[in-house]
Amino acid sequence: MFRFFENLINPYVPYTEHDKPPQKLWPFLWDYSQPFKKVFALTAFMSVVVAAIEIWLIYYMGRLVDLLGSDPALLWQTYGTELILVALFVLLIRPALQGVDVLLLNNAIMPNFGTLIRWRAHKQVLRQSVGWFENDFAGRIANRIMQTPPAAGEVVFQVFDAISYSLAYLIGAAILLTLSDLRLLVPLLGWFVLYGFLVRWTLARVGPAAKDASDARSAVTGRVVDAYTNIHSVKMFAHHDLELGFAKDAIEEARRTFQIEMRIFTIMDVFLVALNGLLIVGVVGWALWLWTTGEASVGVVAAAAALTLRLNAMTGWIMWALSSFFRQLGVVAEGMETIAQPITLVDATDAKPLQLSDGRIEMQNLTHHYGRTSGGLQGVDLEIAPGERIGLIGRSGAGKSTLVKLLLRFYEAEGGRILIDGQNIGDVTQDSLRRHIGMVQQDSSLLHRSVRENILYGRPDASEEEMIAAAKQAQAHEFIQDLSDPEGRHGYDARVGERGVKLSGGQRQRITLARVILKDAPILLLDEATSALDSEVEAAIQETLYGMMAGKSVIAIAHRLSTIAEMDRILVLDEGRIVEEGSHDALLARGGLYADFWSRQSGGFLKLDEDA
């Protein structure tokens, strides 16, 4: 039975992805709710049925009180069949209907709705560009992905568990009082109007307060995760107290916003108790007066009393449900600031996979300044022949990394274009472009997974033998065999820690090299590929790298000029332009910027930081 309801909705059902998701709250939720429309409708109907049954039970208790005024000896003889049928309904049918209601809500909707939102939100965020991620805290992004689905689930829960049920209950209560005596409806309506004003006052304040509190909690998460992610820097600079102070400011802001939110609920509670007192006195008092004048039966008084006491108990729950509803809407609205951001770097509508034949790369008047007036590249023209190896050097900020990022299409070039085998990279799919490019970065961070999973990231369908061969070629196999983690896993099964922190820089770099070797892409990008290696290992890896370059089009960024001295051609970038190009010997003979770098370096290392 549970499995039937749990499988009514597939949270991973295929859907049309939006580059520009809905920017308003209700269209956003409605878009995510499409697979649930029929289940939502059925659940709403069942909520009304359950509320109607509760009202009917109160009505029947009043009837039962009136029946007690008849001759006890004739009660069962006259009403026995009716009483038995009611008892069977209460014992069998009512629980069954209630069961269907809670199965739909608790088992069909709640687990699947949150899962669907989390899955689609994660999928949407992964489609964002590298530049998008560089403009935000990873912790804050993750926090919004994690907190939005349960908040949206709580919104749906309150709609069906409280709001639809309570509306049906109030309408049923009004009908019941009208059938008993129309005048009993007057205090109920008066109470309802005042209750509506209180609800309006509360909700007008709790929504913005909840969003402020949610924003503040996300800020806390962002700052805390930032400290944990950079714990080596925190410890190295002995900035424990500085980080505590940085976090405390955000934590205090979270406390302040939460205090404001709680003040609203306190005011609401006090006024709600006073309103409910008016409801009880008004309805029950009037019913008693009608009884004293002979215009109402004892059953009517009993039903009115039971109804008002039930409403008294419900009103607090309804108010909290409505408050929770709008508070969670505030959380969803805050999450939308991340999840619903448009995808700005997208494939063209008619984009086709890159068809790579030779590996010829052409950059024509390539310009990119990250939206600023300086930095990046300015009018770069470059052609790399198939299989040609290019070395790239320049001062910090000269545009080296920008050139590589544009080739990978991590950013959309502001001007000019890049062609690979005659195909504009803006006209091919991003995935097919990046599948044809292998890159070893200076920052060789790894996934918090096993060594095996990290190497196979280069080519997931590779065999065990191919993976080990790549590790051996990267001079990594021997140290991998000696690895172990706290959970007792060894060798290729050992976990490497977040960003590979359990390994040395050189070990991380060699695993990264193994991953790129396994990928065996026809275009190879090297960004200080040997910077983290000691001299002995570097010498061995250099031979591996030159072996990797065979038959590939290569761009290698280096500060250690000896690592690119044997390249077919060396380019010198300065202020976003190519100012020199040629072989190592030709550039030395020219006596320009490259020759100056070479003369000032020690041991072939150019003491310049990497550019952004």
Of the segments 263-272, 321-330, 346-355, which one has the largest average pLDDT value? 346-355
Tens digit of each residue's pLDDT (9 = 90 or more) over 44-72 = 889 888 888 888 887 788 778 777 777 77
Query: What is the pLDDT, as a whole number, of residue 403?
Result: 92
Distance CA 607, CA 604 (A): 10
Query: What is the pLDDT, as a whole number, of residue 531?
Result: 62
Domain of 248 in residue numbering reads as: 7-339
Report whether pLDDT(611) > 50: no
Amino acid identity for residue 332 in this structure: V
- Say yes or no: 388 and 296 in one domain: no
- Say yes or no: 325 and 389 in one domain: no
Q: Which of 314, 339, 364 is a domain's end point?
A: 339
Query: What is the pLDDT, as a whole number, of residue 296?
Result: 76
- Say yes or no: 310 and 198 in one domain: yes
Report whether pLDDT(336) > 50: yes
Tens digit of each residue's pLDDT (9 = 90 or more) over 195-211 = 888 878 887 887 788 77
Distance CA 493, CA 483 (A): 9
Q: Give the orientation angle of helix 110-126 with respect to helix 138-158, to 10 degrees.
A: 150
Residue 126's CATH number: 1.20.1560.10
Distance CA 29, CA 21 (A): 11
Q: Tell me, yes or no, whether 171 lies in a domain.
A: yes
Tens digit of each residue's pLDDT (9 = 90 or more) over 381-421 = 999 999 999 999 988 888 888 899 999 999 999 999 999 99
Query: What percent of the chain clears pLDDT 90, i.e. is strictly above it?
Result: 30
- Residue 122 and residue 114 in contact, taking contact as beta carbons nearer than 8 Å: no
Q: Tell me, yes or no, whether 512 lies in a domain.
A: no
- Measure Cα distances from 182 to 172, 297, 453 in Å: 14, 14, 73
Mean pLDDT of the chain: 85
Q: Tell me, yes or no, whether 345 lies in a domain.
A: no
Report whether pLDDT(606) > 60: no
- Say yes or no: 261 and 407 in one domain: no
Six token digits for residue 604: 């072939």
For residue 276, give every residue at least 6 positions away whose Cβ sits within 8 Å of its Cβ, in sequence order, or none.
311, 312, 315
Q: How many structural domains compose the chain?
A: 2
Of the segments 297-311, 343-357, 554-568, which one has the largest average pLDDT value? 343-357
Tens digit of each residue's pLDDT (9 = 90 or more) over 215-249 = 888 888 888 888 887 886 788 778 888 888 888 99
Report whether pLDDT(605) > 80: no
- Say yes or no: 258 and 122 in one domain: yes
Report whether pLDDT(542) > 50: yes
Helices vs. strands in the chain: H and E counts, helices first? 22, 10
Strand order through the sheet with 523-527:
437-440, 523-527, 553-557, 389-394, 569-574, 577-582
Q: Tell me, yes or no, whether 540 lies in a domain.
A: no
Q: Tell me, yes or no, whether 464 lies in a domain.
A: no
Distance CA 198, CA 532 (A): 65
Q: Tell me, yes or no, whether 60 lies in a domain.
A: yes
Six token digits for residue 234: 């925190």
- Say yes or no: 102 and 205 in one domain: yes
Q: How many CB atoms lie within 10 A of CB 335?
A: 24
Query: What is the pLDDT, as a whole number, of residue 603?
Result: 45
pTM for this predicted structure: 0.75
Q: Is the dihedral angle over the CA atoms 532, 534, 538, 540 positive or is it negative?
A: negative
- Residue with the bigger pLDDT between 71 and 43: it is 43
Six token digits for residue 251: 């934590």
- Say yes or no: 429 and 285 in one domain: no
Half-sphere exposure of 135 (CA within 13 A, CB side): 8
How much is the CA Rg of the chain, to the nearest whole Å?
A: 35
- Say yes or no: 326 and 429 in one domain: no
* First CA to last CA distance, the chain: 57
Map 485-518 to HEC letters: CCCCCEHHHCECCHHHCCCCHHHHHHHHHHHHHH
- Residue 476 and residue 510 in contact, taking contact as beta carbons nearer than 8 Å: yes
Q: Which of 307, 339, 371 is a domain's end point?
A: 339
- Say yes or no: 315 and 257 in one domain: yes
Q: Tell me, yes or no, whether 310 lies in a domain.
A: yes
Q: Tell me, yes or no, whether 306 lies in a domain.
A: yes
- Say yes or no: 308 and 382 in one domain: no
- Residue with the bigger pLDDT between 115 and 371: it is 115
Distance CA 199, CA 204 (A): 8
- Residue with the bigger pLDDT between 199 and 84: it is 84
Strands (E), 276-376: 361-368
Residue 383's CATH number: 3.40.50.300
- Say yes or no: 378 and 319 in one domain: no
For residue 58, give every residue at least 6 positions away whose Cβ sits within 8 Å of its Cβ, in sequence order, or none.
176, 303, 306, 307, 310
Mean pLDDT of 109-129: 91
Q: Band of the pLDDT at 612, cuts 50, 70, 90?
A: very low
Q: Which of 339, 363, 384 is a domain's end point?
A: 339
Six token digits for residue 171: 């309408």
Query: What is the pLDDT, as a whole number, of residue 604?
Result: 47
Query: What is the pLDDT, as a whole number, of residue 530?
Result: 67
Distance CA 99, CA 91 (A): 12
- Say yes or no: 327 and 386 in one domain: no
Q: Reduced to 3 states, what is the DSSP secondary structure of residue 557? A: strand
Mean pLDDT of 164-179: 75
Distance CA 343, CA 321 (A): 35
- Residue 136 and residue 338 in contact, taking contact as beta carbons nearer than 8 Å: yes
Query: What is the pLDDT, as a whole number, of residue 535?
Result: 65
Six token digits for residue 470: 């790549």
Q: How many CB atoms lie within 10 A of CB 356?
A: 21
Distance CA 495, CA 450 (A): 4
